[in-house]
Amino acid sequence: MVHAVSIRKSVTPDFLICLENGKKFKSLKRHLATHYDPTPNTYRQKWGLPADYPMVLPNYTTLRSGLAKSADLGRRAPPLRSCRRQPLNGRSWG
Give me the residue spans of the domains in the chain. Answer: 1-60
pLDDT digits (tens, 9 = 90+) for 58-68: 777 777 788 88
pLDDT digits (tens, 9 = 90+) for 48-89: 999 999 998 877 777 778 888 888 877 777 777 766 666 666
| Domain 1-60 CATH (choose: 3.20.20.10, 3.40.50.150, 1.10.40.50, 1.10.10.1550) | 1.10.10.1550
Instruction: Report the predicted TM-score, pTM, of the whole model to 2 decimal places.
Output: 0.62
Give DSSP secondary structure letters for 13-62: SS-EE-TTT--EESBHHHHHHHHT---HHHHHHHHT--TT--SB-HHHHH
Confidence of residue 32 (pLDDT cuts 50, 70, 90): confident
